[in-house]
Structure 1
């Protein structure tokens, strides 16, 4: 169900540093296995952190909430190895939909004070842009620090790696980690990213 799939060159020396819990996309029925490992390795290099990728059970063999249950199970297992302050939870597409569940379900039961700072990203051509906006508003209404990055003309899953929009998002993620989650930068601090 989970595999430590990669780490960046910057994190090679530290086995005890922060972990990025990566929940893959794929509409809850694709993106597992080798694809999950490849995505996790790429994400590790991009976010400069050690990664745990959740290869959750998928449709049609495993109906919802199997994927959510797997993500929560992996998050709980990770809590046995790291404090919540050392965990970043992120995902794209279906993974972004699941991203709030492990933290919210296990620790807080929803968006309440104490929920971690959150970064959301979407494109103006994304069918789910309104969902990102609604989540951003709900987080802000609950007093939770939240950033929303919306990219002009970007589709669902945003732009390919290496494009100017992707570089802007990556800079936003790094800035988010540095400014909103300084404890992660220094070895602690829970936060999440979703795109």
Structure 2
């Protein structure tokens, strides 16, 4: 059944109208329509607000522990998506972890280029701490560019007076703005959603004239020493496979406790398809166990 599920998801993604590298306004609308087509469970609450002057959506499910929180960062190559669009996956994470998820609606490129997203992430985290939630009861979770933003934010925190969160889990992180990993071309034929050309278009939107190899743009080139425990999940059928593998290697070399999970035959951010893919369900359970284990520790 698992192989049939993988093939069915591959077909869906290959025929979807969404193009990461397409015209910004059009693709933002298409992405929103695709997400909105999947209704939220009735027991999910999503409330818009702000945290540190940054718009957020607080996602809650029954039975949550009010003493803990997940700070969530959506994907979209830093130019697409929104906190509202991420509610479905954020809610799935929140339910399994047993905590509220606060999805950060960070500013998007090209209207707000680098480092606006990082500034918003740090501001939201600072406000969450100021609101009385201790760092050891906060976890960061992010998907795709949101996973890259998690890593970049953790690096940025090293230059502030703020403590690191308890742990971070990232799904298919985009952490190499040079798009130089071997999988960018080696996995292009089996990736049903992304192309290196599309990612390079969005990199130009986000970075402008900034160096794509700078650590806050591409955390795989940074010094990760002092970062909290890190879980990295990635599919073997995606061009960002090497981003994840190299991030894990960099973290390990810098003495960061790190777990890398490569899930065979699945695409970019496969965790978002837990309703039809058993691997996604298992991956989310594993991520939740990781987060809770580090809170308990």
- Asked whether the two chains share a fold, i.e. TM above 0.5, the reply is yes
Counterparts of 2:55 and 2:109 in 1: how far apart (Å)? 17
Counterparts of 2:92 and 2:288 in 1: how far apart (Å)? 15
Spell out, residue by residue over 1:114-163, the C-alpha distance to the aligned partner (whole angstroms, 9 max, x if none). x2100001111111110111110111111211111111111111251131
Q: Secondary structure at the match of 1:134?
A: helix
Pairing partner for 1:63 from 113, 116, 122: 113
Pairing partner for 1:138 from 250, 261, 264: 250
Partner residue, 1:101: 152
Pairing partner for 2:140 from 89, 95, 107: 89
Q: Indicate whether 1:9 and 2:9 are aligned.
A: no
Counterparts of 1:117 and 1:2 in 2: how far apart (Å)? 27
Counterparts of 1:33 and 1:124 in 2: how far apart (Å)? 27
Structure (1 or 2) with the larger CA radius of gyration: 2
Spell out, residue by residue over 1:21-71, the C-alpha distance to the aligned partner (whole angstroms, 9 max, x if none). 000011111211531444433432243211111001112211122112111
Question: Contact 1:5 / 1:41 at 8 angstroms: preserved in 2?
Answer: no
Counterparts of 1:142 and 1:3 in 2: how far apart (Å)? 32
Kindly tell me the number of residue pairs found equivalent between the two proteins.
179
Task: Provide the aligned C-alpha RMSD in A.
Answer: 2.0
Q: TM-score, normalised by structure 2?
A: 0.56
Give the Å deviation of 1:4: 4.5
Higher RCO, Cα 8 Å, sep 6+: 1
Q: TM-score, normalised by structure 1?
A: 0.82
Taking the TM superposition and a 5 Å limit, the aligned residue runs for 1:16-31 are 17-31=67-81
Counterparts of 2:139 and 2:119 in 1: how far apart (Å)? 18
Question: Contact 2:74 / 2:83 at 8 angstroms: preserved in 1?
Answer: no
Partner residue, 1:176: 290
Q: Which blocks of at least 5 consecutive residues in structure 2 are unaligned?
A: 1-53, 161-222
Counterparts of 1:2 and 1:158 in 2: how far apart (Å)? 26
Counterparts of 1:36 and 1:147 in 2: how far apart (Å)? 24
Q: Between 2-11 and 135-144, report the one with greater CA deviation.
A: 2-11
